[in-house]
Structure 1
Amino acid sequence: MKRAVIISGGKIQTDFALAFLRTQTWDYVIGADKGVIFCHKNQIMPTHIVGDFDSAGETEYEYFQKNTDVPIKRLNPVKDYTDTDVALRLALELGAEEITILGGTGARIDHTAANVRILFLALQKGVRAYLLDEHNKMWLTDHAVSIKKEEQFGKYLSLFAMGGAVKDLTLQGVFYPLDHYLLEGMDPLCVSNEITEEACRINFSEGVLLVIESKD
């Protein structure tokens, strides 16, 4: 399975990110705009670089341009898509079957919200994509899934309907179970649940769920 990591320009907790990167094997490492600063500072060699570099990263951009043969796609700052969006599309074009985005969350809530929504691009291709930081792991699913307690990212499990209602939502193996519940788009009912058995089971007949595994 081809795996890609996108290092974007949001908040990155260095120790967490480096530990995560070093314990994984990546086919593609894509530096997106300000994310190239993190790559350069921590001696991470991207396989690809994209961005308009309007916010930061011009020095690092020039370093990778002059001293490496890494393919660089420089974007016009006046564009319809964010740098992270373009990076995700590139990962899909490269054939990635699993994608993790670091630096996709942070102080800019508007960018975080946009990055949650671009996960749909991967979902439509049948590719699992994650937004990951030291406190949260976020992903989308359009079908039933199970999450093992020993493998969950954090203590808490939250679910939100995306792009319409989720029908017949049934939760088993959690502190707050549900049985064929209609989860509407603005319904916050499924926040801060906890897995109580070896695995939780999430079933539904229609819709898309945003799954957030989180910890304090």
Structure 2
Amino acid sequence: MTKRVLIFSGGRLGKWALDEIKQGDILIGADRGAFFLAENGLQPDFSLGDFDSVAEYELEIIRQSSKTFLSFDPVMKDWTDTELAMNHAVQMCPSEIKLLGAIGTRFDHSLANLHLLYKCYQRAIPCTIVDETNDIRLIDHETEIDKGRYTHVSLLPFTHQVTGITLEGFRYPLHKATLTSGDSLGISNVVIGEKARISIETGLLLVIRSMD
């Protein structure tokens, strides 16, 4: 496995995103996410997309700042810029992928980016979507989570049904419960200690840690 890969997409980004970067990370900028890296004095390892969200002068800054620059036709492509970046990232077989700027004002893009977690799941690559107030991951097995800076934890079924959900260390525990698409039972739980444990038997579960 190679190093971590951080993908910067064109949604909401800020200083918090820069704080996620660790030495040795591979940085991929998707469309406007590449400009965010460049304008903050960082050199993307890869910048890619159709770049329809940047001005000409911004595109030139991206081109000059990037180690590798890949431009795609905005019409003759089958994937969003973020999925293009994800396809590039998974080919590296990294130890982990983080998606930043994957949530924004375009709900369709935000939802599509959420489903990219499944692309990583299929390849057994840990992947997290992170923004200023949320941490989102997809699990299929027992998982321990830290409370960290987050005030709430919500659980949503990614598959139609998730069975055998047991929660330990939460204000509202569950024992071998089932969540089905449309259920809101798993919304807004709270970790009561420093760590908590989630166990499931079948299905895929979205775990969303949020700051209120």
Which TM-score band applies after superposition, normalised by the shorter structure? over 0.9
Do the aligned partners of 2:153 and 2:209 also contact (CA within 8 Å) in 1? yes
Give the residue type in structure 2 aligned to 1:182. T
Aligned positions of 1:16-165 closer than 5 A: 16-21=16-21, 24-65=22-63, 67=64, 70-78=67-75, 79-149=77-147, 152-165=148-161
Indicate the residue corresponding to 1:189 in structure 2.
185
Give the residue type in structure 1 aligned to 2:108. D
* Cα deviation code 1:47-97 (max 9, x no counterpart): 0011001122543332343x3562122112122211111101111112212
Task: Quote the Cα distance in structure 1 between the aligned partners of 2:164 and 2:24.
Answer: 37
Task: Quote the Cα distance in structure 2 between the aligned partners of 1:129 and 1:7.
Answer: 13
Secondary structure class of the residue paired with 1:189 = coil
Give the residue type in structure 2 aligned to 1:188. S
Task: Quote the Cα distance in structure 1 between the aligned partners of 2:113 and 2:74.
Answer: 18
The count of residues paired between Structure 1 and Structure 2 equals 210
Give the residue type in structure 2 aligned to 1:172. E
Q: Percent of counterpart pairs with the same letter?
A: 37
Q: Which runs of 5+ in 2 are unaligned?
A: none
Do the aligned partners of 1:166 and 1:204 also contact (CA within 8 Å) in 2? yes
Note the aligned Cα RMSD (angstroms): 1.6
Following TM superposition, the consecutive aligned residue runs of length 4 or more in structure 1 with deviations greater than 4 angstroms are none
Q: Work out which of the residue numbers 203, 207, 210 in structure 2 matches 1:211.
A: 207
Task: Quote the Cα distance in structure 1 between the aligned partners of 2:35 and 2:138.
Answer: 29
* Cα deviation code 1:5-26 (max 9, x no counterpart): 01110011x22122232xx234
Q: CA deviation at 1:36?
A: 1.7
Do the aligned partners of 2:153 and 2:189 also contact (CA within 8 Å) in 1? yes
Do the aligned partners of 1:161 and 1:183 also contact (CA within 8 Å) in 2? yes
* Cα deviation code 1:119-175 (max 9, x no counterpart): 1111111111111111001111111101133xx341111111002210111111100
* Cα deviation code 1:158-201 (max 9, x no counterpart): 11100221011111110011111110021111111011134211
Task: Quote the Cα distance in structure 2 between the aligned partners of 1:153 and 1:93.
Answer: 32
Indicate the residue corresponding to 2:11 in structure 1.
10
Give the residue type in structure 2 aligned to 1:7. F
Q: Which runs of 5+ in 1 are unaligned?
A: none
Task: Quote the Cα distance in structure 1 between the aligned partners of 2:91 and 2:211.
Answer: 33
Task: Quote the Cα distance in structure 2 between the aligned partners of 1:17 and 1:64.
Answer: 18
Task: Quote the Cα distance in structure 2 between the aligned partners of 1:96 and 1:57.
Answer: 32
Q: 1:94 to 1:57 in 2, by over 3 A?
A: farther
Do the aligned partners of 2:127 and 2:137 also contact (CA within 8 Å) in 1? yes
Task: Quote the Cα distance in structure 1 between the aligned partners of 2:157 and 2:32.
Answer: 31
